[in-house]
A and B are shown apart, each in its own frame.
Chain A
Amino acid sequence: GENVEQHPSTLSVQEGDSAVIKCTYSDSASNYFPWYKQELGKRPQLIIDIRSNVGEKKDQRIAVTLNKTAKHFSLHITETQPEDSAVYFCAARPSREGNTGKLIFGQGTTLQVKP
């Protein structure tokens, strides 16, 4: 089955700097890759996602890139702010699960943005 690896596990940056989180997946048939932000004790919130037929997607300060050949995708946050501090999870959806929406999550990255 699908396996998703996420790095780094923790990331500390200065306010205004950029942050990059990387994920790799094992199932080449996976076709959907969302990123979630989770604050302590709260539900995960979708921040950006990308489908396998797209190489890059951007939404204001957040961007995601996908390299299907290498089976990895990355989250880029520019001009970080203290409120970006949270745990970020990447996920992959195996295409054979396309009708159900099953997601396999990475291990998570705790991002700390220092003022």
Chain B
Amino acid sequence: GAVVSQHPSWVICKSGTSVKIECRSLDFQATTMFWYRQFPKQSLMLMATSNEGSKATYEQGVEKDKFLINHASLTLSTLTVTSAHPEDSSFYICSARVEGSTEAFFGQGTRLTVV
């Protein structure tokens, strides 16, 4: 199947700093990628849809100025958590779909801890 790679796998940052997470489709082009957030023992909550070459579409309640998404190429989307706070600590996962396919492939996730 298609491979989606996410980097870093985990990161610890100080409160007030920004953290960038990368999501890459390694063997296919993805015009659309998705960013999810998952708290411990909870579901995947869709944060935003990342569109190559255009602005991301954010879900209701997600602060676009705090979670900056850039989809500059057909294989890379980035999520930047700006001015991170402890409540932003979570597991962030991206996914992408191969054009013409229904299956969504997930990255391995990034465990963000803000101290």
B78 at interface, CB cutoff 8 A: no
Q: How large is the interface on A (under 10, 10 to 19, 20 to 34, 35 or more residues)?
A: 20 to 34
CB-nearest residue of chain A to B36: A105
CB-nearest residue of chain B to A43: B106
CB-based contact A102/B43 at 8 Å? no
The count of residues in chain B whose C-beta lies closer than 8 Å to any C-beta of chain A is 21
CB-based contact A43/B46 at 8 Å? no
CB-based contact B107/A43 at 8 Å? yes
- Bound state CA distance, A97 and B75, in angstroms? 21
CB-nearest residue of chain B to A1: B60
Q: Which residues of A contact B (CB under 8 A)?
A: 6, 32, 34, 41-46, 49, 51, 87, 89, 93, 100-108, 110
Set of chain A residues within 8 Å of B43, measured between Cβ atoms: 6, 89, 105-108
CB-based contact B104/A34 at 8 Å? yes
CB-based contact A102/B34 at 8 Å? yes
Set of chain A residues within 8 Å of B106, measured between Cβ atoms: 43-45
Say which residue of A43, A45, A49, A100 sits within 8 Å of B109 (CB atoms).
A43
Q: Which residues of B contact A (CB under 8 A)?
A: 32, 34, 36, 41-46, 49, 93, 95, 97, 102-104, 106-109, 111
CB-based contact A49/B107 at 8 Å? no
CB-based contact B34/A103 at 8 Å? yes
Additional 17 contacts, C-beta under 8 A, given A89-B43, A100-B97, A103-B95: A34-B102, A41-B109, A42-B109, A44-B44, A44-B93, A44-B106, A46-B103, A46-B104, A49-B103, A87-B41, A101-B95, A101-B104, A102-B46, A104-B46, A105-B44, A108-B42, A108-B43
